Structure 1
Amino acid sequence: MTNYKTVRLILGDQLNPSHSWFKHKDNDTLYLIAELKQETNYVKHHIQKLCAFFSAMANFASALKEAGFNVLHLTLDETHGDANLPGLLTRIATQYNCSAIEYQYPDEFRLKQQLNNFKKKSVFNINAVDTEHFLLQFEQINERFTKNKHATMEHFYRAMRKQYNILMDGAKPQGGKWNYDSNNRNKFSKSDLADIPVPKMFDNDVSSIISRLNKHNVSYFGEIKDELLQWPTTRKQAIDCLEYFCKNLLSRFGQFQDAMTDQCNHNTSLYHSRLSFALNAKLLHPLYVIKRVINEYEQNPQQITISQVEGFTRQILGWREYVRAIYWVNMPDYANKNQLDAKQKMPHYFWNGDTKMNCLSHALTQSLETAYAHHIQRLMVIGNFCLLTGINPNEVDNWYLGVYIDAIEWVEMPNTRGMSQFADDGIIATKPYSASGNYINKMSDYCKNCRYDVKQKIGDNACPLNSLYWHFMDKHRDKLQSNPRIGMVYKNWDKQSSNLQTQTLEQAKHHIKNIDSL
Structure 2
Amino acid sequence: MTTLRLVLGDQCSRTLSALEDLDPARDVVLMMEVREEGTYVPHHRQKIALILSAMRHFARALAARGVRVDYVRLDDPANTHSFGGEVARAVARHRPARLVLTQPGEWRVLEMARRWEEEHGIPVEVREDTRFLCPLPEFFRWAHGRKQLRMEFFYRDMRRRTGLLMEGDEPAGGEWNYDRENRKPLPKGAQPPTPPFFAPDAITREVMALVAREFGGAYGGLDSFRWPVTAQEARAALADFVAHRLPLFGDHQDAMAEGEPFLWHSLLSSSMNCGLLLPGEACAAAEAAWRAGQVPLNAAEGFIRQVLGWREYVRGLYWARMPAYRDMNALEARRPLPDFYWEGGSGMRCMDAAIGQTLEHGYAHHIQRLMVTGNYALLAGLDPAQVNEWYLAIYVDAYEWVELPNVSGMVLHADGGVMASKPYAASGAYINRMSDHCRHCRFDVKRSAGEGACPFNFLYWDFIARHAERFAANPRMAMPLATLGRMAPAKLAEMRAAAARHLESVSPPAPR
**Conserved in 2, the CA contact under 8 Å of 1:93 and 1:99?**
no
For each residue in 1:193-226, what CA deviation from the matched residue of structure 2 results, as whole angstroms up to 9, or x when unmatched?
Answer: x2x101111111434224434554564111111x
Match among 160, 163, 180 for residue 162 of structure 1: 160
The answer to whether the 8 Å contact 2:16/2:102 transfers is no
Tell me the secondary structure at the aligned position of residue 475 of structure 2: coil
The answer to whether the 8 Å contact 2:31/2:70 transfers is yes
In the other structure, the counterpart of 2:444 is 453
Worse-matched range after superposition: 352-361 or 399-408: 352-361
Per-residue CA deviations over 1:104-136 (Å, capped at 9, x if unaligned) read 111100000011022233212221212211111
Distance 2:218 2:145 in 1: 35
Q: Structure 2 CA distance, aligned partners of 1:83 and 1:164? A: 41
After TM superposition, the structure 1 = structure 2 runs for residues 172-183 of structure 1, keeping only pairs within 5 Å, are 172-183=170-181
Shifted more, 367-376 versus 70-79: the winner is 70-79
Task: Report whether the alignment pairs 1:11 with 2:2.
Answer: no
The 2-side partners of 1:461 and 1:276 are apart by 38
Deviations 1:428-457 (A, max 9, x none): 011000000000011111101000110111
1:32 equivalent in structure 2: 30
1:147-226 equivalence runs, <5 A: 149-192=147-190, 194=191, 196-205=192-201, 206-213=204-211, 216=214, 219-225=217-223
**Match for residue 96 of structure 1 among 87, 94, 97:** 94
In the TM superposition, residue 16 of structure 1 has moved relative to its aligned partner by: 1.2
Aligned-partner SS, 1:45:
coil
What is residue 250 of structure 1 aligned with on the other side?
246
User: Is 1:117 aligned to 2:115, yes or no?
Assistant: yes
**Distance across 1 between alignment mates of 2:481 and 2:504:** 25
Match of 1:306 among 293, 297, 311: 297
Q: What are the Cα deviations for residues 56-97 of structure 1, in whole angstroms up to 9, with x where unaligned?
A: 000100111112211122211227532521221121121123
The offset of 1:191, in angstroms, is 2.3
Aligned-residue offset at 1:290: 0.5
Aligned partner of 1:199: which letter? Answer: P
The reply on whether 1:423 has 2:414 as its aligned counterpart is yes
Shift of 1:99: 2.3
2:350 to 334, 337, 359: 359
Q: Secondary structure at the match of 1:190?
A: coil
For residue 137 of structure 1, the aligned residue among 129, 135, 138 is 135
Distance 1:429 1:79, change over 3 A: farther
Per the TM alignment, residue 510 of structure 1 is displaced from its structure 2 partner at its CA by: 1.3
Is contact 1:148–1:427 with CA below 8 Å preserved after alignment?
no
Are 2:32 and 2:83, in contact at CA under 8 Å, matched by a contact in 1? no
Equivalent-residue separation in structure 1 for 2:20 and 2:216 (angstroms):
33
1:434 paired residue number: 425
User: Equivalent residues in 2 for 1:397-416 (5 A)?
Assistant: 397-416=388-407
Deviates more, 1:76-85 or 1:37-46: 76-85
Match of 1:77 among 72, 75, 78: 75
* Deviations, residues 143-181 of structure 1 (Å, cap 9, x unaligned): 122489321110000000000111111111000100000
Aligned length: 505
Mapped partners of 1:507, 1:214: distance in 2: 42
Query: What secondary structure sits across from 1:283 in the alignment?
Result: coil
Q: Is the 8 A contact 2:45 2:211 kept in 1?
A: no
For residues 477 and 66 of structure 1, do their structure 2 counterparts lie closer, same or farther at Cα, with a shift above 3 Å needed?
same
Cα displacement (A) at 1:512: 1.4
> Which of 226, 230, 245 is the matching residue for 1:234?
230
Which of 295, 302, 312 pairs up with 1:321? 312
8 Å contact from structure 1 (residues 147, 330) kept in 2 = no
Cα deviations across residues 281-325 of structure 1 (Å, max 9, x unaligned)? 1111111110111111111x2x52100100000000000000011
User: Alpha carbons of 1:352 and 1:161: their partners in 2 closer, same or farther (altered >3 Å)?
Assistant: same
Measured in 1, the distance between the counterparts of 2:154 and 2:245 equals 27
Mapped to 2, the partners of 1:420 and 1:46 lie a distance apart of 21
Corresponding residue SS for 2:432:
helix
SS across alignment from 1:8: strand
List runs of 5+ in structure 1 lacking aligned partners. Answer: none
Letter in 2 for 1:56: A
- Give the letter aligned to residue 75 of structure 2: D
1:80–1:216 contact (8 Å) kept in structure 2: no
Any idea what SS the aligned residue of 2:101 has? strand
Contact 1:471 1:505 in 2 (8 A): yes
Please tell me whether the aligned partners of residues 36 and 79 of structure 1 are also in contact (alpha carbons under 8 angstroms).
no
**Aligned counterpart in structure 2 of residue 290 of structure 1, from 283, 300, 304:** 283
Answering whether residue 389 of structure 2 is matched by residue 393 of structure 1, we say no
**Does the 8 Å contact 2:72/2:79 carry over to 1?**
no
Q: Distance in 2 between matches of 1:171 and 1:217?
A: 52
Structure-2 change in CA distance of 1:394 and 1:199 (3 Å): same
Which ranges of structure 2 fall in alignment gaps of 5 or more residues? none
SS in 2 for 1:7: strand
Question: Is the deviation greater in 121-130 or in 456-465?
Answer: 121-130
Which piece of structure 1 moves more, 37-46 or 125-134? 125-134
* Alignment-derived partner of residue 515 in structure 1: 506
Q: Which stretch has the larger CA shift, 338-347 or 138-147?
A: 138-147
Query: 2:354 & 2:213 partners in 1: Cα distance?
Result: 31
- 1:37–1:80: 8 Å Cα contact kept in structure 2? no
Pairing partner for 1:275 from 268, 279, 282: 268
Q: Percent identity?
A: 36
